[in-house]
Chain A
Amino acid sequence: MAGITIAALSTVYPNGVRAVDSLDLEVADGELFALLGPSGCGKTTLLRTIAGLEGASEGVVSIGSRDVTRLQPGERRVAMVFQDYALFPHMTVAENIAYPLRVRGVAKSVQQETAVRTAEGLSLGALLDRRPGQLSGGQQQRAALARAVAASAEVLLLDEPLSNLDARLRLEARTFLKKLQRELELTTVFVTHDQAEALALADRIAVMDAGRIRQLGTPREVFQRPADTFVANFIGSTPMNLVPRDDVVLGVRPEYLAPAAEGLFTGSVSIVENLGVTSLVTLDCGEDQIGYIVPEDSEPSIGAVVTVGAPAARVLRYDKETGLLVR
């Protein structure tokens, strides 16, 4: 078991694009770490550079105390689950799971034993003789995880582990993944573009943009105090209200706003969207649109004039020029 240390790492593509730009990062031993960002932000490239599938142009990648920057992927003791799972279509589930051992020339009987044991652990026991094409999406994902687990690597890398599953299955798989990681206590880095996934799964999140880290912190920190307007926009299932006021931009999450006698914003209700147990209400306040969340059965009627406010600690101020959080 080992943590990952990344120092001044850059990955530059032949066309000159700096996909990862002099980036520093430390992932603790046993941590479940998320790389979060929009597509093209460099998060996948960073993951692939850790795996050794992309060459680092500058900087150092260490796993534990070993400098692995110049090592081949197979020599780094990492395991990876790809977005499309990359289960070999011509091999059975058992052969797929045992593949890391086969490459190392481990005895057939040990391969078989490990495959069975690992598959049992991921409730794949009944599927060992199937081929990947005969599995459902969720089963394929678990088979790919099982193969990575069987590699008994020091670091587990997951590229968009849940994106190929449909919505309902995704929740199930998310819980399963977190439970598995807790049991294995394996240092795990996963890439995702879905902020809800990152918030739900990760111990810590790095929000990335343009090859750099915009904010690094626990899910709570990132959600409650986004370091800049980019992160503020990106995190949260309903977008944060960002309203220019005097020389700053006010940032308030819809979840923290509630009707109040003396409030921040006043406007007339234009739209009510039902989110299940809550509803999102949109207020027209002159030029600005303000969203806030109300519990079920307490929605205002359209056209009603409402004033909303939030606890002072939940109202963030961002610099108008730089977009950075004003402390």
Chain B
Amino acid sequence: MSPLWIVRRIGFYVLITVVLAFFAVPMLWLASAPFDTKPGLGLRWPDWTFANVSATFDHPFTLSSLVNSLILCAIATVVTTVLAALAAYALSRVRIPGRDLLLYLLLLLSSVVTGTAAMVPIFVMMLQLGLINSQFGTALVIAGGMLPAAIFILKDFVDAVPRSYEESACVFGASPRQVLSHVVLPVARPGVATIFVWAFVNAWGNFLLPFLLLRDVGQQPAAVLLRTLYDEGGSANLTVIPVFSLLYSIPVVVLYLFVSKRYGFRFHGGIKS
């Protein structure tokens, strides 16, 4: 072990520590502020209390906004997963005329037309359709935005399922419906689960579209309410915000833990090198 080696080793671990701190320090607020008697926009060792929790539950809109988030998310996620699964399967297995062009356009669309770039026409369209403040309408907009990417990721999954599985079932006399329910769906389940979680996390965190389209505080999901709590009355409601942030983050963290335990947090295709 030369001195140079030791110096490099120390440098390496200093670097790792700095990176660790960079990513960890901002998170600590979420652990301390919710349980502090005087929560603020800063980090300090909390003066432990649960008073903020009950204050948060007493707030008129917190629980209902979480329910709104759940509704919005459930619709968007189910629509995305089901439609993407159907489309990905058909596009993977059948040479529909114009398939390659369609896939190319989908790839282009999914990257080019973002919620941000199309926010004005989406807002105007929903305004004219009278769908402002409609949770269902907003959920469909969110689903529409997620679909191209979802189709792509799922198609990669289905492409990786050997065709011999289906052919084998076919030779033994299975109908297309049986091939789908006995073989394809069970084998592609990790892919479908991945898309489900991916869509849920995306929809759960989406701020811009509900912020644009759900102007009534009673309809707003947690993402928007959290912002409203910060803006309303000119000062931030710091009793409610930390606990509410924590509550709102829990589903995402739980899902993340589930995915990383079950499947490992890896790239499941979708991203071609």
Interface contact A82-B172, CB-CB below 8 Å = no
CB nearest neighbor in B for A74: B173
* Nearest Cβ on chain B to A100's Cβ, whole angstroms: 4
Interface contact B170-A74, CB-CB below 8 Å = yes
CB nearest neighbor in B for A157: B171
Kindly state the separation between the CA atoms of A89 and B189 in the bound complex, as whole angstroms: 12
CB nearest neighbor in A for B186: A90
Interface contact B174-A53, CB-CB below 8 Å = no
Known: A89-B187, A90-B187, A103-B178. A79 touches B172 (CB 8 A): yes
Kindly state the separation between the CA atoms of A78 and B183 in the bound complex, as whole angstroms: 20
Interface contact A88-B183, CB-CB below 8 Å = yes
Kindly state the separation between the CA atoms of A268 and B25 in the bound complex, as whole angstroms: 81
Which listed residue, B162, B171, B178, touches A80 by the CB 8 Å rule? B171
* Chain A, range 81-132, C-beta contacts under 8 Å to B: 82-84, 86, 88-90, 99-100, 102-104
Known: A88-B183, A90-B187. A151 touches B172 (CB 8 A): yes
Q: Which residues of A contact B169 (CB under 8 A)?
A: 88, 99, 103
* Nearest Cβ on chain A to B174's Cβ, whole angstroms: 5
Task: Say yes or no: is B164 at the interface (Cβ < 8 Å to chain A).
Answer: yes
Interface contact A79-B173, CB-CB below 8 Å = no
Which listed residue, B173, B183, B187, touches A104 by the CB 8 Å rule? B173
CB nearest neighbor in B for A102: B182
Task: Say yes or no: is A51 at the interface (Cβ < 8 Å to chain B).
Answer: yes
- Provide the B178-196 mask, 1 if CB < 8 A to any CB of A, else 0: 1000110011010000000
Interface contact A82-B170, CB-CB below 8 Å = no
Task: Say yes or no: is A75 at the interface (Cβ < 8 Å to chain B).
Answer: yes
Which listed residue, B162, B167, B172, touches A99 by the CB 8 Å rule? B172
| Interface size, A (range) | 20 to 34
Q: Which residues of A contact B95 (CB under 8 A)?
A: 14
- Provide the A130-148 mask, 1 if CB < 8 A to any CB of B, else 0: 0000000000000000010
Interface contact B171-A79, CB-CB below 8 Å = yes
Task: Say yes or no: is A323 at the interface (Cβ < 8 Å to chain B).
Answer: no
Q: Which residues of B contact A102 (CB under 8 A)?
A: 182
- Provide the B66-97 mask, 1 if CB < 8 A to any CB of A, else 0: 00000000000000000000000000000100
What residues make up the interface of B, taking CB atoms closer than 8 Å to A? Answer: 95, 162, 164-165, 167-175, 178, 182-183, 186-187, 189
Not counting A88-B187, A90-B187, a sample of 16 additional A-B residue pairs whose C-beta atoms are within 8 angstroms of each other reads A51-B167, A52-B171, A53-B167, A73-B173, A74-B172, A76-B171, A82-B167, A84-B162, A86-B165, A86-B168, A88-B165, A88-B182, A90-B189, A99-B169, A103-B173, A104-B173
Can you list 24 A-B pairs, Cβ within 8 angstroms, ordered by A?
A: A14-B95, A52-B171, A72-B170, A74-B170, A74-B173, A78-B171, A79-B171, A79-B172, A80-B171, A83-B164, A84-B162, A88-B168, A88-B169, A88-B183, A88-B186, A90-B187, A90-B189, A99-B172, A100-B172, A100-B173, A102-B182, A103-B169, A104-B173, A147-B172
What residues make up the interface of A, taking CB atoms closer than 8 Å to B? Answer: 14, 51-53, 72-76, 78-80, 82-84, 86, 88-90, 99-100, 102-104, 147, 151
The 10 residue pairs across chains A and B that have the minimum distance between CB atoms: A74-B173, A86-B164, A86-B168, A100-B172, A82-B164, A90-B186, A73-B171, A80-B171, A73-B170, A103-B173
